Amino acid sequence: MSSQVVSQTSYEIPKTQRAVTFAETHGPHTIQTDWPVTQPSELKPGEVLVRVVYSGVCHTDLHAWLGDWPLENKLPLVGGHEGSGYVAFIGPPLEGAEPCTLKVGDAVGIKWLADSCLHCEECGKGFESSCGQAKNSGFSVDGSFQQWAVSWGAHLTPIPAGFPLANAAPILCAGVTVYKALKEAAILKGEVVVIPGAGGGLGHLAVQYAKAMGYRVIAIDSGAEKEKLLASYGVTDFIDYQKGDVVEAVQKLTDGAGAHAAVVVASGSQAYEQALQYLRPHGALVCVGMPPNADIRANVFWTVVKSHRIIGSYVGNRQDAIEALELAAAGKVHTTFTIEPLANLPSVFERMHALTLNGRIVLDLQ
Ligand code: 8ID
Ligand code: ZN
C-alpha cells in the first residue's frame, strides 16, 4: 500500500490508476492496475475530479452486480457510491450556475446521487434523487471503486473538518439513507421504531440515528455477533428473525400495542410482510431495503382502518447528507467498519451475500 493521501492545494494526476470493474452483469470482477484516469482537460462543465481515499461497500453495489433490479446500469462499470476523498481538480463552470464553492484539497463525499438537474419540480422540492436526469454513482456513471473518480460539484458533500475519511464513507449512502428514512417515518420522541436488518451496513447506523433522534429502538436481525454489535450502541431490544415469531416478539416488547414505525433496511422481503402485522394504527412502514422481485402485500381494509402509512424512501438530498455527516462528526453516531484493500471487493460481495458482515466494509484506495 502506498503512502497516505492527504489534502493538498494541487495534485499530480496520473494517466492510469487502480480500479475494480466488471464488464457483464454477474460476470467476473477485474482488478485493474492501469484503468484510465479522466484528465483535467477532459472534465466537462460542472464535473470535478476526486482523489478517492476510501469507499464503503453497500448492498446496492451487490444488487447492481447481480442484476437484481429492473434498471440497466452502464457496462463496463466501476461500482461504488460511498466514496470519501479530496477534490483534485475542478472542471469548467456550468453555464448559468453558481460558481463551484469547493476548492482543490477539500474533503468531500461521493454519494449515490452523483448529479441532478436542480431545476425540475422534484429537485425544487428537495426530492433530488427522483430527478428525471439523475446520475447514480457506481450505476449509471462510474463510482468510487477507483482512485480518481469524476463527480459533480453541485452534489459532492463537504466532509466536516477533522472527521476521518474512513468513518465518513459509510455515512454517504448508509447514513444519509437511514437518517432520511427516519425523518420520513414522522414519529415523535419516545415512540417505538423497529429496524429489521439492524445488524447490516444501513441498520447499524439506523439504530444509532434513531436513538439520537429520541426514539425507542427494537432491532431485528440474526445471530449473536449482530446482537453484540447492537448492544454496543445500547440497543438491548433485539429480536432474532430466524428464531421464533417476529410479530409476536414485537407485540410483546410493546405491551401488545405494536410499533409506531418500521424502517425496513433488510435486503430480504419477509421483513416487509411482518412489519405490516406489528405496526400500531397510524404506524409508518418506511421501505428502504430493496430485495429483488419483491412486492408489498397490504390488505386494503386494514390499511384504511388502521390508517397505515406505506412510504418509499430513496437515499436523501444534499441537505440530508450534510446533516447525517454532522451528527456523525459530533459523535452521536459511530460507523462500525473494517478496512480492507480494494482488491478484496469480490470477497466482500461473497460475505455480504452470505449475510455474515457486521456493519460495513470500507475499501482503502490509497
Ligand atoms: O435509498 C435506499 N432506499 C437505499 C440506499 C442504500 C441501500 C436502499 N439500500 C438497500 C440495499 O440495496 C439493500 O437492499 O438497503 C438494503 C440493505 O443494504 P445494506 O445495509 O448495505 O445491506 P447489508 O449490510 O447486507 O445488511 C442487510 C441486513 O439485513 C438482514 C441481514 O442479516 C443483514 O444484516 N436481514 C435480512 I437479508 N432479512 C432480514 C429479516 N427478514 C434481515 N433482518 C431482519 N429480518
Ligand atoms: Zn448504498
Domain-by-domain residue ranges, the chain?
Answer: 16-158+336-364, 175-312
Give tens-digit pLDDT for 322-344: 999 999 999 999 999 999 999 99
- Domain 175-312 superfamily per CATH: NAD(P)-binding Rossmann-like Domain (3.40.50.720)
Cell 430466524 belongs to which residue?
A: 242
With vertex at residue 305, the alpha carbon angle to CA 304 and CA 309, rounded to the nearest 5 degrees, is 50
Q: Is the pLDDT of residue 288 over 80?
A: yes
Average pLDDT, the chain: 96
Ligand 1 atom with the smallest distance to the CA of 246 is 45
How much is the average pLDDT of 317-325?
98
pLDDT number for residue 33: 97
Ligand 1 contacts CB of residue 317 (under 6 A) = no
Give tens-digit pLDDT for 113-145: 999 999 999 999 999 999 999 999 999 999 999
Q: Is the pLDDT of residue 1 over 80?
A: no
Fold agreement between 16-158+336-364 and 175-312: no
* 366 Cα–ligand 2 center, Å: 21
Pocket test for ligand 1, best of 202, 235, 240, 263 (most atoms within 8 A of CB): 202
How much is the average pLDDT of 149-172?
98
Quickly state the pLDDT bin for 268 (edges 50, 70, 90). Answer: confident
Whole-angstrom CA distances from 19 to 4, 50, 131, 279, 349 are 18, 14, 29, 44, 16
What is the SS3 assignment for 287?
strand
Closest to 23 measured CA to CA, from 60, 53, 63, 65: 65
Quickly state the pLDDT bin for 358 (edges 50, 70, 90). Answer: confident
Whole-angstrom CA distances from 288 to 8, 10, 180 are 37, 39, 10
How much is the average pLDDT of 141-152?
98
Ligand 1 contacts CB of residue 196 (under 6 A) = yes
Q: What percent of the chain has pLDDT over 90?
A: 96
Ligand 1 contacts CB of residue 263 (under 6 A) = no
Which of 136-175 are b and which e, b meaning 16 or more Cβ less than 10 Å from the residue's Cβ?
bbbbbbbbbbbbbbbbbbbbbbbbeeebebbbbbbbbbbb
Ligand 1 contacts CB of residue 223 (under 6 A) = no
pLDDT number for residue 98: 80
Q: Is the pLDDT of residue 112 over 90?
A: yes
Q: Is the pLDDT of residue 95 over 90?
A: no
- Fold adopted by 16-158+336-364: Quinone Oxidoreductase; Chain A, domain 1 (3.90.180)
Whole-angstrom CA distances from 282 to 39, 121, 178, 251, 302 are 53, 29, 20, 16, 11
Q: What is the reported pTM?
A: 0.97
